[in-house]
Structure 1
Amino acid sequence: MDTTRVSSTGFDGTPHAPAAARRFVRQVLGEWHLGHLAEDAVLLTSELVTNAVVHAGTGIELTCRLDAHAAPPRLEIEVDDHHPTRTIPATGSPPGDAMATSGRGLALAGLLADAWGVTYSGTAKRVWVRMEFADGSGAHEVALGTPAAAPAAAAAPVETLHVGVIVADFDGRVVSWNPEAEALLGWPSEQATGRPLAELVAWRGHGSYSLSLADTLNLGRWRGESRMRHRDGRLVPVYISHLRTEGRARDRRAIWMVVANDHRYVLAGPPAPLRREPGRRIKDLLDRDRPLAEVLDTIAQIVHTSSGGDASYVLLRGESGNRFGVAAGAGATAGLVGLVAAGLFGVDRTAPAVVDDLLAGDVALAEQLRARSLVCAPLRVSGEVIGYLVAAAAEPGRFDQELTVSLQHIADQVAVTVQRERTAEQERAHRGRLSFLAEAGELLAGVHDEELIAALTAQLVVPKIANWAAVYLTDLTGMTRLAHVWHTEERHNAALRTSLPSVPQATLGEISWPVGAESVLSFPLLIQGRSHGALVIGRVEPTLPLEVADLLADLCRLVALNLHTAMLYTRQATTSRVLQRSLLPMGVATMPGLESAVVYEPAEEGADVGGDFYDLFTVGDHWCFALGDVCGSGPEAAAVTGLARHAVRLLAKEHYTVADILHRLNETLLEENEEGRFLSLLCGELTPLPQGGALCTIASAGHPPPLLLRADGEVRAVASPQLLLGIEYEARFFVETFELAPGEVLLCVTDGVTERRDGDRLLDDDDGLARLLSGCTGLSAHAVAERVRQAVDSFGPEPVGDDVALLVLRATATLRAGQPVNR
């Protein structure tokens, strides 16, 4: 009668198959009342199915077979795929070959199963594992769900205990062999001393991650099983506790304490805390769909629990290059951010490692981790290292080689899950990163105020990335100050500013500013080798993922670029304002019997001076005025503006007539040889009349004619058009004279007024400006100027596209003695 129980199912060869297989095995073992085997069986199933998915990719059949009446009872788990050309290497294959062929190997099968193997057919490949869990006498109870405890191994008699002490030098030759070693192995000291230790040890690696004898001798500590050659030729199973001394390389010694394997309990350490609790947590982790951050945090906690170290980390490879950054941590990890020192971690380091004292080989990493000893295992997917699991401790020599097997087991179980979730997360993060930087760039674009840039930067990272943020700015003199702070809760802003140094004494790149319970991290604002300050953030999370660190670095470069631009803009704007002030008069002169008003509006945004200019000044007993317009705009036009205004004032004070002023200025412009730089100029003199008003002598060189408003509302042009200045040497200019009576208004404008456009229509079409002025009878000079300005602004829907300058002169009665001058 066949009492074997069998349960089978099938899956597609997709990444979801391992999780489904784990659920199936757990359900079957629950029905068979074998829950006490579920942890190991589920982990083995996950290993087998994952290998089939990664390396076969075909449909998968999973079979659970229980033979409760075998001696001992056994549970077999079989995974069939349909890719027979894929092979799994033999147990004795070198580790490198195993990884090259199978990617992950079956290290877990060697750890947990009593036997495993591969069976081939013409169309399929079957990988199986066997778990023997009790002797024959308890088979029936086991089958019914009553677990039978395995008998404890009987210790060998103490009388046969021999603890051999063997010392080997740097080259692996025996330099010391005690009598106990002779009693155990038969070799007298004189025959063993000087022989290579390799001749006395039948060294055999265990699993895919075993080390050679030479590598083992270089370890600080190691314990494990091996076989040594007895003098009579047989191989003696032994248990070895290895210790390497410190000092210079050539002076180091390897010390072995050796006992028969039956006496291993004398030297063996406590069992590694991996098998049950971490195994259960890994199983739970792989069975559920969780966010990547939660997966990584759970893995870090598992490593921390399993290793017994002070801290644990999950390092992941960056998107490009061979950089590894902290993705999660547990234990004493506060403040660790971004990249770790690259000496120990690299894409070509595919085996786990133990470092007894980091200070002896990698001081930078020891300082960064605040640790002396370290153990690490690579996360590998299809032979490629995607990251590391790391445990660290403050004191040296904390970990031994046995822990690497446990740590590598964890790494192999979670590597595929981490890679799958990280790939999806990176795609989402890449889109979010581009969106975030685009938003930041748009927000900061065109902002030329450093204080505003600092405020926007702090609010960009809070609360998306940090709990609070502070921006320090460094000026051109090298002085650094706290410019802006921002907290997720605005009511804490004042307290945060008080707790942070207003002028930091430490380097801004350091991360040793404890503020509350958060981890404080600093990122420099650097561009073109110059520091513009730093962004300092506080986070509740103990570590900062590499992707977030890269995002903040990109943001800081963007902010630094905008700060640099703002600095250049401020410097240029200050210089420009100083120079532009010299192009316009500081004030206009006042005269008895005359009111004046000026409107000046450059078209270029941010400019104080454009191509238009004006002036009104005294010369002896009369007054001179000028209104001009340089062809073009920008700095070139402003340069001609300065030349023309100062030349008019200088020539007038030398008592040149209006006509001579135009003539000499024309020659000056032609001598400057500025191609295409023409100037229209309205220039005149005002001589007060005893009865009030003034006699006006005026000339217009290519300028819009001035308009005279009579007291009765009549408007007429009072100057004839003449040739532009800067066109030909032989040009001759003439003047015209008229009387500006009390109450009359003289309006002088540039073409920015007359040619103000609304579609195809100009403001001065059909004498539009004259009609506008005729309605200003009785108004003061300032009122006339304001009405004309408003008419220009409101004439068209589009902003004014040209410089606007206008000068209004209004004659009044003669001032009596002692009457104040109108300004």
Structure 2
Amino acid sequence: MDTTRVSSTAFDGTPHAPAHARRFIRQVLSEWRLSHLAEDAVLLTSELVTNAVVHAGTGIELTCRLDVSASPARLEIEVDDHHPARTVLTAEAVSAEAVSNGVMRTSGRGLALACMLADAWGVTYTRTAKRVWVRLELTDGPDHQEVMVGTPGLVPATVATPIEGLHVGVLLADGDGTVLSWNSEAEKLLGWTPEQAVGMPLAELVAWRGHGPYAMSLAGTLSLGRWRGEARMRHADGRLIPVYVSHVRSRGGPEDHRSIWMIVAGDHRYVLTPPAAPLRREAGRRIKDLLDRDMPFAELLDTIAQIVQTSSGGDAAYVLLAAEGGDRFGVAAGAGATAGLVGVLAAGVFGPDGRTPSMIDDLLAGDVELAQQLRARSLACAPMSVGGEVTGYIVVTAAQPGRFDQELTVSLQHIADQVAVPVQRERLAERERAHRGRLSFLAEAGELLAGVHDEELIAALTAQLVVPKIATWAAVYLTDLAGMTRLAHVWHSEERYNANLRRSLPAIPRTALNEVSWPVGAETVLSFPLLTQGRSHGALVIGRAEPTLPLELADLLADLCRLVALNLHTAMLYARQATTSRVLQRSLLPMRAAPMPGLESAVVYEPAEEGADVGGDFYDLFTVSDHWCFALGDVCGSGPEAAAVTGLARHAVRLLAKEHYTVADIFDRLNQALLEEVEEDRFLSLLCGELTPLPQGGALCTIASAGHPPPLLLRANGVVDTVAAPQLLLGIEAGARFYVETFELAPEEVLLCVTDGVTERRNGDRLLDDDDGLSALLSGCRGLSAHGVAERVRHAVETFAKEPSQDDVALLVIKAAAELRGVRP
């Protein structure tokens, strides 16, 4: 059997070529299990490629060839350039020149190095290229009869997939990749009958996907003596099935190179994979090469976790970094079975005083909380220390107990020592960038949520803040004062999925949100509580494609949730205050205006404070014996304090009128009550009157105005008159005396009573009532109903200026009909 392995690549003739070549050689030798030769091979390759770049300046082809059937087994590295005219000095010539000149030329050093490190080397010329090669003989090291090319799979500690569904397919293909035979197990696995499969090219059956930047093609893999790895093969029904393949090339001449493939489903890969080896020196070397690259911090941590997890054979690997304060450690990156892991881990194993690596055979026996967080039983970890301070941990876990040995912890510590300083340096730089971004994000969120008093709008804004910056989708659950939790808003980065997402999430969770099993797909789902002052306002639930949430993002989301919870708490208080105000206002205003046969009435009432229903203006319209009474008042100021005086004044007017006090007596008694009961500087303007029906229609109006804007009377001919003179405000002087005035409200005439929120409506330096503006407005209302007049005045007040009114607005309109019926006693 031909056991020759070949791997090759090409580079441009740039200064970056030596670095690419070193990475290529390290990866190939690691895959071939020849890491013990890596240092010499990398050094030789670097020198040969450097010489080719400096002295040829053309494109470069690098080939690595392993022949384990030779005696002894040999590894050859070839560097081809496309400048054949450039000669290469022999080692003897280089040495002679050094002796004669006393200086060795730069162009000769790499070849002198080849003389010292390689078992053989040489130069081959063609018409278009020059090839410099070196040979290393494999006289010791690992068992080269089982050299692996590709990425070996990992073996779980126990068989996780039922053995009953195992099918081991076997196929034979010729040198061109055409299927020659196909067994019944392959038919069960992939659906193709032997009659269908025989004669098909493997390229049609295999959806080949190489592994890594220097992966070989399918044809190149078929030329290898042995290979194992993952692939995807096409089922007869068109599906792509994940499989694991063990490939062996048959022994024979070049004309008889056949490939034998053993195929199992991806879940049964443990049948064909070799036992997983613990972490060895090659993982450390791969990380050393990784640290030479310039890559984003998050990618660096993810790659470290992937290397550790793959090399260790664990189910998962993590990079933990110290949180703020340094006494807690959170997940910064993860690989493997890490879904749902977020934030700070339990501190039992990971502490700031850890100085040595550790291994735990069964976490459940000592730290149940950590075992639940990691979903693991076995754990091995090593601290990353910088300047005597533990800055993080490298961690490997497995679902089964007793998976790791002490040798692994030593290897982990070697890795941790390698990456500690570079990771801490990059983390400090990343933390500074993240801090600025975090402040910017929270400032944007605070500005967006500021002044929002609607819980539904807060939920919608919160979901859209995190999508798509942090999550693929987000949902906000709200909890009311009764403890009922409901789904308030969902948002997906692809809006067309919003409806499906809402249907898939529980509308009213029956369990705590952190215990809900989210049936939403492949994303990792995380829940963050909205807590403030010890009360839960709900939760923010997000879905992410990434399996873990970095600590910085977890802290950012925690800060955002606190901000959202605070705004929800404010909205709750606002809603409670608005409810209280509405209830209080209903007690301060009449439930309904008294019906007045033969008279039309209309009322407009609008408090000044946004969202408040309680103000300093009030009105009333009620029946007393054989006549009607009306009142319109305005307390100095607005809000709850003014509302207290409002309640006293309205109920006092109604009570005194019911006791048949005259309007003048009502003013006297109310003035005295205000002076005795109300705080200083809290005055009241009041317009109060009685309407007595007249036999000929209309009504006789007896009215008095205590510091109130005078009422206006719209005559039937369109003339507007003032019908009451202003007197002293109530609550100023104890000895004040008040008088009444009388006029007749004839049929079709309109009485308009307003507070100063109407007359003093401001637009810059101009008031609405300047130059008798209100009278002019009323004169244009001839022929309108009472409600029509009230609406026109209200609209005029609202549109007089762009800015909303800063004062309470109240107005009362009474219009006499052509015929007035008496009031029943």
- Give the shorter-chain TM-score range: 0.5 to 0.7
Worse-superposed segment, 745-754 or 140-149: 140-149
Find the counterpart in structure 1 of residue 422 from structure 2. 417
Find the counterpart in structure 1 of residue 304 from structure 2. 299
Change in CA separation of 1:589 and 1:514 when aligned onto 2, cut-off 3 Å:
closer
Find the counterpart in structure 1 of residue 48 from structure 2. none
Aligned pair partner of 2:393 in 381, 388, 393: 388
Q: Shift in Å at residue 134 of structure 1? A: 12
The answer to whether structure 1 residue 149 and structure 2 residue 154 are counterparts is no
Aligned pair partner of 2:573 in 542, 562, 568: 568
The answer to whether structure 1 residue 746 and structure 2 residue 745 are counterparts is no
Aligned pair partner of 1:607 in 606, 612, 636: 612
Change in CA separation of 1:779 and 1:387 when aligned onto 2, cut-off 3 Å:
same
Give the match's secondary structure for 2:548: coil
Check whether the contact 1:377–1:389 (CA below 8 A) recurs between aligned residues: yes
The answer to whether structure 1 residue 541 and structure 2 residue 546 are counterparts is yes
Change in CA separation of 1:391 and 1:775 when aligned onto 2, cut-off 3 Å:
closer
Find the counterpart in structure 2 of residue 116 from structure 1. none
Alpha-carbon distance in 2 for matches of 1:382, 1:677: 70
TM-score for both structures, normalised by structure 2? 0.66
Q: Shift in Å at residue 636 of structure 1? A: 1.0
Deviations 1:761-790, CA, capped at 9 Å, x for gaps: 333334333333334344433333333333
Aligned pair partner of 2:361 in 356, 360, 369: 356
Aligned pair partner of 1:289 in 285, 294, 300: 294
Aligned pair partner of 1:718 in 717, 723, 734: 723
The answer to whether structure 1 residue 623 and structure 2 residue 657 are counterparts is no
Change in CA separation of 1:567 and 1:350 when aligned onto 2, cut-off 3 Å:
same
Aligned pair partner of 1:404 in 386, 409, 413: 409
Give the match's secondary structure for 2:483: coil
- Letter of the 1:793 counterpart: E
Deviations 1:118-142, CA, capped at 9 Å, x for gaps: xxxxxxxxxxxxxxx9999985669
Aligned pair partner of 2:474 in 469, 481, 490: 469
Alpha-carbon distance in 1 for matches of 2:569, 2:695: 62
Change in CA separation of 1:20 and 1:349 when aligned onto 2, cut-off 3 Å:
farther
Check whether the contact 2:338–2:548 (CA below 8 A) recurs between aligned residues: yes
Check whether the contact 1:511–1:521 (CA below 8 A) recurs between aligned residues: no
Change in CA separation of 1:366 and 1:738 when aligned onto 2, cut-off 3 Å:
closer
TM-score for both structures, normalised by structure 1? 0.67
Change in CA separation of 1:139 and 1:492 when aligned onto 2, cut-off 3 Å:
closer
Change in CA separation of 1:773 and 1:517 when aligned onto 2, cut-off 3 Å:
closer
Check whether the contact 1:141–1:148 (CA below 8 A) recurs between aligned residues: no
Change in CA separation of 1:287 and 1:39 when aligned onto 2, cut-off 3 Å:
farther
Q: Shift in Å at residue 793 of structure 1? A: 3.3
Give the match's secondary structure for 1:582: helix
Aligned pair partner of 1:691 in 693, 696, 699: 696
- Letter of the 1:40 counterpart: E
Alpha-carbon distance in 1 for matches of 2:277, 2:814: 104
Check whether the contact 2:279–2:308 (CA below 8 A) recurs between aligned residues: no
The answer to whether structure 1 residue 800 and structure 2 residue 800 are counterparts is no
Aligned pair partner of 1:525 in 524, 530, 535: 530
Change in CA separation of 1:44 and 1:341 when aligned onto 2, cut-off 3 Å:
farther
Change in CA separation of 1:333 and 1:640 when aligned onto 2, cut-off 3 Å:
same
Q: Shift in Å at residue 24 of structure 1? A: 11
Change in CA separation of 1:723 and 1:396 when aligned onto 2, cut-off 3 Å:
same
Alpha-carbon distance in 2 for matches of 1:280, 1:598: 86
Alignment of 1:93-242 (within 5 A): 145-151=134-140
Alpha-carbon distance in 2 for matches of 1:594, 1:511: 64
- Letter of the 1:537 counterpart: I
Worse-superposed segment, 140-149 or 360-369: 140-149
The answer to whether structure 1 residue 763 and structure 2 residue 763 are counterparts is no
Change in CA separation of 1:288 and 1:606 when aligned onto 2, cut-off 3 Å:
same
The answer to whether structure 1 residue 588 and structure 2 residue 566 are counterparts is no
Find the counterpart in structure 2 of residue 502 from structure 1. 507
Q: Shift in Å at residue 299 of structure 1? A: 0.6
Check whether the contact 1:141–1:147 (CA below 8 A) recurs between aligned residues: no
The answer to whether structure 1 residue 812 and structure 2 residue 811 are counterparts is no
Q: Shift in Å at residue 302 of structure 1? A: 1.1
Alpha-carbon distance in 2 for matches of 1:764, 1:499: 60
- Letter of the 2:634 counterpart: D
Check whether the contact 1:335–1:511 (CA below 8 A) recurs between aligned residues: no
Change in CA separation of 1:42 and 1:684 when aligned onto 2, cut-off 3 Å:
farther
Give the match's secondary structure for 2:515: coil
Deviations 1:446-479, CA, capped at 9 Å, x for gaps: 2222222222222222222222222222222222
Alpha-carbon distance in 2 for matches of 1:779, 1:24: 90
Alpha-carbon distance in 2 for matches of 1:673, 1:721: 22
- Letter of the 2:593 counterpart: V
Alpha-carbon distance in 2 for matches of 1:771, 1:396: 92
- Letter of the 2:134 counterpart: G
Alpha-carbon distance in 2 for matches of 1:815, 1:688: 6
Check whether the contact 2:458–2:568 (CA below 8 A) recurs between aligned residues: yes
The answer to whether structure 1 residue 655 and structure 2 residue 644 are counterparts is no
Q: Shift in Å at residue 431 of structure 1? A: 1.7
Alpha-carbon distance in 2 for matches of 1:25, 1:386: 33
Alpha-carbon distance in 2 for matches of 1:757, 1:345: 67
Q: Which aligned runs of 4 or more in structure 1 are off by greater than 6 angstroms?
A: 19-22, 35-38, 41-45, 133-138
Find the counterpart in structure 1 of residue 335 from structure 2. 330
Q: Shift in Å at residue 683 of structure 1? A: 1.0
Check whether the contact 2:694–2:820 (CA below 8 A) recurs between aligned residues: no
- Letter of the 1:491 counterpart: R
Give the match's secondary structure for 1:458: helix
Give the match's secondary structure for 1:408: helix
RMSD of the TM alignment (CA)?
3.5
Alpha-carbon distance in 2 for matches of 1:783, 1:414: 81
- Letter of the 2:677 counterpart: E
Alpha-carbon distance in 2 for matches of 1:581, 1:754: 25
Give the match's secondary structure for 2:513: coil
Find the counterpart in structure 2 of residue 730 from structure 1. 735
Alpha-carbon distance in 2 for matches of 1:767, 1:153: 107
Q: Shift in Å at residue 660 of structure 1? A: 1.0
Q: Which runs of 5+ in 2 are unaligned?
A: 1-14, 27-33, 45-112, 123-131, 144-274
Aligned residues: 596
Change in CA separation of 1:500 and 1:755 when aligned onto 2, cut-off 3 Å:
closer
Deviations 1:734-771, CA, capped at 9 Å, x for gaps: 11112122232222222222223333333333433333
Find the counterpart in structure 2 of residue 40 from structure 1. 39
- Letter of the 1:149 counterpart: L
Find the counterpart in structure 1 of residue 444 from structure 2. 439
Change in CA separation of 1:302 and 1:776 when aligned onto 2, cut-off 3 Å:
closer
Q: Shift in Å at residue 593 of structure 1? A: 3.2
Check whether the contact 2:578–2:613 (CA below 8 A) recurs between aligned residues: no
Aligned pair partner of 1:682 in 687, 691, 696: 687
- Letter of the 1:653 counterpart: K
Aligned pair partner of 1:490 in 485, 491, 495: 495
Alpha-carbon distance in 1 for matches of 2:752, 2:500: 61
Q: Give identity over the alignment, percent.
A: 77
Alpha-carbon distance in 2 for matches of 1:680, 1:811: 26
Find the counterpart in structure 2 of residue 178 from structure 1. none
Alpha-carbon distance in 1 for matches of 2:565, 2:749: 59
Alpha-carbon distance in 2 for matches of 1:152, 1:691: 126
Change in CA separation of 1:622 and 1:368 when aligned onto 2, cut-off 3 Å:
same
Alpha-carbon distance in 1 for matches of 2:287, 2:526: 32
Alpha-carbon distance in 1 for matches of 2:22, 2:504: 55
Alpha-carbon distance in 1 for matches of 2:668, 2:821: 38
Alpha-carbon distance in 2 for matches of 1:385, 1:43: 33
The answer to whether structure 1 residue 641 and structure 2 residue 646 are counterparts is yes
